[in-house]
């Protein structure tokens, strides 16, 4: 609207100064001169108003046409690039393709663009379409007196370290079980030929882990050789920005899962993934799935699916090392973790996605537990108890949901998935109860209240269920430990050691002791079958000086100390159920004080510091006298 202003007539003898309205009511100039404003609104001409509306609509339509034209040009250019790449890769013999992959791979050929392309690339390799279509930047970088050498990464086959038959065998072994521990691959897409053509460093990482698992004559020395060679090229991948790509992130993640430097390598992998903006792939893919666009770019969604898997693999391992390894917080999921279930509806989803996404949800919940019960905490004991009860309900909901989802999965994988989910639930509950007691600041069982003793008893029940699950079906869980990373070995050893200690702190009867010894010996026997394979090579830091898996050795020592405590106990059929304090003083003190270094320096597993010591002098001397009666 136009506004005009009419001033009062000027006094006689003075020149009249017209004042224009400045849009204020009253006019600021008139307000300053203390004049009275009289204004009125002149309506617009209807013809002019209609003309302005038409011009606005034409401008909007022109912008839409320009956007559509731009998308069409990009689509045509992308199709041409794909056709050229397809012809150049499939029109040559395999030997030539191998030589080309040795000299230069997809992610080694082009520097990863920091600009995330939401144009929908059809490429399945590492070279983003945006980097092929973009013109060089007009701004030149200042030349430096230093340069990073760009030596191409060659695979172990080309370097003559292993034969192609060995490589295929190691590759097959990896995908027989290791991919369950690192469920970021698609068995249909990530074939031997495909991985070798796309990334030498990823092939080297997979073959190194597969070689470590294979228990054949001479493989152990070869495993150490491959691991040493792999570490050299991991350094090159980390320091060279031009080698950053999806497959490089996957290779770093594989190495992190089976390396003693797991936390450090994971940080490098996360940094590279953030530079490649892999975290945006999940949001983009969920938006596409929510819209359910007909005739969408399926190749683009497949690439987004692979990126999402890799990113979630980083998230899961980061949360595990954060909750169970004391790693500083690094990644936090915004929004509800259950949204990730949308990925199960994508046509390229695999049965391994069930394992991956269930762990995403569980470990996000475990991270919340860890942050809430971190010491020191502002919560009082009542708040901690209330939080534990509420979180237990959340764990039950997660467990019931995924049991229903797994029931509709592949028949072959159902038993493995079912046992894995049950074992993970027991572990999550046991850690929650132990961390709740640690947050309450209680260690002496003799001073615990009834509520605190109940929480400790629930931790014991979870540990017993964990032992029962893994020993009743050893072929579904324990036999798979030869493929597992050392975190899984550490969990098995810790759960059993904690159960032994809690059986002495909260005894339930003599039958319990004999049953625990029998189950412990059966557990050691099962793990011995898989614990002396090359999967426990010194390269991943899980082997003791004697050549045995260190966590298997912890189990043996735990059973030995527990058996000694039972043998030294004098029979007292008329006495109370709980043994007197001075009974088994030496043996039980030895068991209670047994805290392996690995559970202090490498893993943050609470509960082993619990003990029993009477606080009343009357109780103390009463139990002392019982010892010498």
Domain assignment of residue 361, yes or no:
no
Residue scoring higher pLDDT (104 or 175): 175
What backbone torsions phi and psi does residue 34 show, to the nearest 5 degrees? Answer: 60, 45
Give CA angle at 354 (353, 355), nearest 5°: 90
State the pLDDT at residue 543: 56
Whole-angstrom distance, CA of residue 131 vs CA of residue 113:
6
Residue 102 has pLDDT above 70, yes or no: no
Quote the CA–CA distance of 458 and 462 in Å, as a whole number. Answer: 6
- Give the model's pLDDT for residue 419: 95
Token representation of residue 535: 């999967």
Q: Which residue has the higher pLDDT, 320 or 68?
A: 320
Same domain? For 451 and 566 the reply is yes
Are residues 109 and 20 located together in one domain of the fold? no
Q: Are residues 450 and 510 in the same domain?
A: yes
pLDDT digits (tens, 9 = 90+) for 258-284: 998 999 999 999 999 999 999 999 999
* Segments forming the whole domain that contains residue 116: 92-128+151-277
105 in the same domain as 30:
no
Query: Above 60 in pLDDT, residue 593?
Result: yes
Label residue 224 exposed, middle or buried (CB < 10 Å: 0-12, 13-18, 19+).
middle
pLDDT at position 9 over 80:
no
Number of domains within the chain:
3
pLDDT digits (tens, 9 = 90+) for 120-136: 433 333 434 344 444 44
- Quote the CA–CA distance of 452 and 439 in Å, as a whole number: 11
Show which of 252, 277, 302 is a domain's final residue: 277
* Dist. CA 330–CA 292, nearest whole Å: 33
Q: Which residues pair with 4 in a beta bridge?
A: 40
Residues 468 and 602 reside in one and the same domain = yes
Q: Are residues 112 and 38 part of one domain?
A: no
Q: What is the pTM of this model?
A: 0.74
Strand 38-42 relative to strand 2-6: parallel, antiparallel, unpaired? Answer: antiparallel
9 and 106 share one domain: no
* Residue in 36, 202, 188 with CA at minimum distance from that of residue 108: 202
Residues 35 and 155 occupy one common structural domain: no
Helix (H) or strand (E) holding 2: strand 2-6
Q: Is residue 70 in a domain?
A: no
pLDDT for res 320: 96
pLDDT at 116 over 70: no
Q: Tell me the pLDDT band of 35, cut-offs 50, 70 and 90.
A: confident
Instruction: Give the DSSP H or E segment for 584.
Output: none
Is residue 593 a part of any domain in this protein?
Answer: yes
Residues 8 and 97 in one domain: no
Q: Are residues 17 and 162 in the same domain?
A: no
Whether residues 170 and 228 fall in one domain: yes
User: What is the per-residue burial (b if ≥16 Cβ within 10 Å, else e) of 360-390?
Assistant: bbbbbbbbbbbebbeeebebeeeebbebbee
């Amino acid at each position: 609207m136009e506004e005009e202003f009419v001033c009062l007539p000027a006094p006689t003898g003075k020149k009249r100064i017209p004042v224009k309205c400045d849009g204020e009511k009253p006019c600021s100039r008139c307000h300053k001169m203390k004049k009275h404003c009289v204004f009125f609104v002149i309506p617009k001409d209807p013809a002019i108003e209609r003309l302005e509306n038409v011009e606005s609509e034409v401008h909007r339509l022109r912008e839409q046409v320009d956007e559509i034209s731009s998308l069409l040009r990009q689509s045509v250019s992308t199709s041409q690039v794909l056709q050229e790449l397809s012809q150049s890769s499939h029109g040559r013999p395999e030997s030539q393709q191998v030589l080309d992959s040795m000299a230069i791979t997809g992610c080694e050929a082009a520097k990863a663009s920091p600009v995330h392309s939401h144009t929908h690339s059809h490429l399945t390799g590492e070279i983003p379409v945006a980097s092929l279509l973009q013109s060089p930047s007009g701004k030149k970088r200042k030349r430096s007196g230093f340069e990073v050498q760009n030596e191409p990464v060659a695979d172990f086959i080309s370097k003559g370290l292993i034969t192609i038959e060995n490589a295929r065998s190691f590759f097959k072994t990896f995908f027989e079980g290791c991919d369950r521990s690192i469920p970021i691959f698609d068995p249909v897409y990530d074939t031997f030929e495909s991985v070798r053509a796309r990334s030498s460093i990823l092939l080297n990482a997979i073959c190194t882990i597969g070689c470590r698992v294979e228990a054949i004559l001479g493989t152990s020395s070869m495993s150490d050789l491959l691991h040493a060679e792999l570490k050299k090229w991991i350094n090159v991948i980390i320091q060279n920005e031009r080698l950053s790509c999806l497959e490089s992130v996957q290779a770093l993640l594989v190495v992190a899962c089976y390396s003693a430097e797991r936390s450090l390598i994971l940080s490098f992998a996360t940094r590279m993934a953030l530079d490649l903006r892999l975290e945006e792939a999940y949001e983009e893919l969920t938006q596409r799935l929510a819209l359910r666009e007909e005739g969408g770019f399926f190749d683009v969604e497949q690439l987004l699916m692979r990126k999402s898997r890799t990113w979630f693999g980083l998230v899961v391992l980061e949360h595990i090392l954060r909750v169970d390894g004391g790693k500083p917080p690094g990644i936090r999921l915004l929004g509800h973790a259950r949204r990730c279930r949308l990925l199960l509806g994508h046509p390229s989803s695999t049965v391994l996605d069930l394992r991956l996404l269930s762990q995403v949800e569980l470990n996000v919940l475990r991270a919340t537990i860890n942050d809430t019960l971190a010491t020191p905490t502002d919560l009082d004991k009542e708040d901690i108890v209330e939080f534990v009860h509420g979180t237990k309900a959340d764990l039950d909901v997660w467990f019931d949901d995924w049991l229903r989802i797994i029931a509709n999965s592949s028949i072959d994988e159902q038993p493995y998935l079912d046992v894995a989910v049950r074992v993970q639930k027991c572990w999550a509950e046991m850690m929650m109860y132990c961390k709740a007691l640690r947050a309450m600041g209680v260690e002496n069982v003799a001073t615990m209240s009834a509520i605190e003793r109940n929480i400790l008893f629930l931790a014991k029940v979870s540990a017993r269920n964990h032992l029962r699950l893994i020993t009743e079906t050893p072929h579904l869980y324990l036999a798979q430990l030869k493929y597992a990373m050392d975190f899984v070995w550490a969990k098995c050893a810790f759960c059993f050691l904690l159960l032994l200690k809690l059986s002495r702190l909260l005894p339930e009867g003599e039958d319990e002791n004999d049953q625990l010894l029998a189950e412990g010996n059966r557990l050691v026997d099962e793990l011995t079958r898989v614990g002396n394979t090359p999967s426990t090579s010194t390269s991943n830091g899980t082997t003791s000086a004697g050549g045995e898996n260190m966590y298997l050795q912890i189990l043996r020592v735990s059973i030995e100390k527990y058996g000694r405590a039972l043998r030294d106990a004098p029979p007292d059929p008329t006495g109370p159920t709980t043994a007197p304090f001075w009974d088994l003083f030496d043996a039980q003190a030895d068991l209670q004080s047994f805290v392996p270094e690995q559970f202090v320096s490498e893993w943050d597993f609470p509960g082993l510091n619990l003990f029993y010591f009477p606080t009343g002098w009357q109780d103390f001397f009463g139990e002392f006298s019982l010892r010498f009666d």
